[in-house]
A = this chain, B = another copy of it.
Amino acid sequence: MTPTAVMLLSCPDQQGVVAATAAFIAAHDGNIVHAEQHVDPVEGVFFQRVEFELDDFGVARDEIATEFAPVAERFGMRVDLRFTDEPLRLAILASRHPHCLYDLLTRWRTGELHTDLRVVIANHPDHAGLCEHLGVPYEYLPVTPETKREQETRMLEVLGHHDVDLVVLARYMQILSPVMIDAYPHRIINIHHSFLPAFVGANPYRQAHDRGVKLIGATAHYATTQLDEGPIIDQETVRVSHRDDVGGLTRKGRDLETTVLARAVRAHLGHRVLVYGRKTVVFEG
């Protein structure tokens, strides 16, 4: 695997934008290995993810942004430039529920999640042993209504200390304050245990059971200050029936939650997600 650069671009849709970026890369002997684009014809916005090899590229990686700036300016592009051999630094926030945390840890340990896992922060002590076994720093920050503000300050220090790029809420059962969310805009991924926008709020499996639905779902989204309203990254559903009581829905839902959260985290780590408004463009991996 040779290292590659990924550019995530968005700008007003206009003629020549694909050609300009491709010409820039070709002019410096770059080899494009993936390129996906999307146009929202209603909003008139152009989105592109373009990935090219760095090995024989004629511009040093720390000069690419500067060299590309004239193209970006001409088309009014927002540019996000990443290098695949510099994995994102990750923090996982957990509560007592282990399934999403354990799943992410397994995927990280087996190399499936290409990330630099820096820390697990939890408001329960249960997972300290496993994290110690795996060599992952574990910060136990219990939260009560009285200590919430203080603990969030501490949490921000921990995240800052590790220079974290992405925060994943692995069924973290606390609502984050706007200060936290604003510190990591579109960089906090939450998993909600329903097919949003159905069953917002607490106890979605109870709500689903009471309504008698024949499917339950899970939704991975970026956390925003509007609870359960952030841009959706991925969703999935599974069939249920009258045989499934609330416990059965919860058990089936756990598998959904782990699957959907892992897919969303993987998409973000692979630089495949662009946010606009309250929506996302997720290019396939």
Contacts and interface: CB of A to CB of B under 8 A. Distances in A.
Interface stretch (A65-73, A183-191, A236-244): A236-244
A64 interface: no
A257 interface: no
A237 B237 contact: yes
User: Which of A33, A98, A198, A232 gathers most chain B CB within 10 Å?
Assistant: A198
Copy number of this protein in the oligomer?
Answer: 4
Contact of A214 (B18, B232, B254, B278): B232
A15 B27 CA distance: 10
Given A23-B23, A236-B215, A251 B129 contact: no
Contact of A42 (B112, B130, B245): B245
Interface residues of A, number: 70
A255 B231 CA distance: 25
Given A19-B25, A23-B23, A242-B279, A211 B197 contact: yes
Contact of A106 (B20, B102, B196): B102
A284 interface: yes
Interface in A13-60: 15-16, 18-20, 22-23, 25-26, 29-42, 47
5 contacts: A23-B23, A98-B106, A197-B198, A215-B217, A242-B280
Given A32-B37, A34-B39, 6 more contacts: A38-B243, A112-B251, A196-B213, A198-B198, A215-B217, A242-B281
